[in-house]
Amino acid sequence: MKKLSPFLIFILLSEILSFFSCNKTPTSPEPPKIISLPVINEFSANPSTIAKGQGSQLKWSVSNATTASIDQGIGNVSLTGYEYVYPEKTTTYTLTATNKDGSKTESCTITVKSAKLAIDGKIEKDYLYGCPVFKGWVKNVGDNTAWNASITIYCYSDKDKTVLIDTAWDYLADGNDIDPGVKVPFEAVCWELSSHSQIKSRKVVLDWLEKELSELTKEDFEKIAFNKRLWIENQRRKSKAIRR
């Protein structure tokens, strides 16, 4: 039998491989993976602007999720629900919805309007009925109305403010409203002292309530009653100083 030449063997093998290659069933490509993230249908705050001390309702609705959570200390929540919050300052809340494919977030902000009283200008020293008096102006530099406001000036006989010798107090605007941008005068008298030289140091404290509160707390009522008692006591000390 005649042997085939190496060249012919090469040709035959090439033809065989070509035949099987042409008749091979093509492989279908893998379908792309479908990613389905959670859907946040709603996340809102009503009202979105409040006065300090008021509340707002957060409301949300999430679909295609396994878990949902809200930051700012709220934590895990149901996929649909609401929550009342009482932020002390303007706060942004973020809702996070999660499933096996990932997470989706959405945020809403509650703007908190608040009054802020500050000394406007310099505190002047004077005398009234022979007693040291501090005079000046207080201005509302915030964006909400203040009321039941007072100024208290603690007077000390030492620079380290350890020995309190008298307290000067005044009811700002007679306890009435102080609107944003408005300034009111004060006249706080040290009824038990006879000279400013007795005062080596002082501490000024401004206090007030926020207007437009949804309801007054027990502490608010106590503060109102406390200021009324101070006003009566102030009048008594004034009458005593006049008679001296």
For 198-231, what is each residue's pLDDT tens digit?
A: 999 999 999 999 876 556 778 888 888 988 899 8
* 69 pLDDT above the threshold of 90: yes
Full-prediction pTM beyond 0.75? no
What would the pLDDT profile of 130-185 be if each residue is shown by its tens digit?
999 999 999 999 999 999 999 999 999 999 999 999 999 999 999 999 999 999 99
Q: With residue 220 as reference, give the H or E element that holds it.
A: helix 218-243
All domains in the chain, ordered by first residue: 39-113 (2.60.40.10), 117-243 (2.60.40)
Six-digit token string for 42: 């709603």
Q: Nearest-CA neighbor of 106 among 157, 43, 59?
A: 43
Residue 200: CA atoms inside 13 Å, Cβ hemisphere, count? Answer: 10
pLDDT > 70: percent of the chain: 86
Neighbours of 155 (CB within 10 A): 24
- The alpha carbon of residue 153 and the mean position of all alpha carbons in its chain are separated, in whole angstroms, by 29
The first and second tokens of residue 214, run together, are: 């949804």
- Which pLDDT band, with edges at 50, 70 and 90, does 27 fall under? low
Beta bridge partner(s), residue 146? 178, 210
Identify the H or E element spanning 218.
helix 218-243
> What is the predicted pLDDT for the residue at 15?
67
What DSSP element (H or E) covers 68? strand 67-70
Residue 8's pLDDT band (cuts 50, 70, 90):
low
- 3-class secondary-structure state, position 62: strand
Query: 21: alpha, beta or left, given left = phi > 0 and alpha = psi -120 to 50?
Result: alpha
Determine the Cα–Cα distance for residues 101 and 123; give it in Å rounded to an integer.
64
Q: Average pLDDT of the chain?
A: 89
* Separation between Cα atoms, residue 57 and residue 74, nearest integer Å: 13
**Which of these, 126, 134, 130, lies nearest to 204 by C-alpha position?**
134
Q: How many CB atoms lie within 10 A of CB 3?
A: 7
Mean pLDDT of 6-30: 62
Paired tokens of 94? 């973020």
Q: Could you tell me the sign of the dihedral formed by the alpha carbons of 188, 193, 196, 199, in that order? A: negative
Strand partners, 4: none
Is the CB of residue 102 less than 8 Å from the CB of residue 37?
yes
Q: How far apart are CA 180 and CA 145, in angstroms?
A: 6
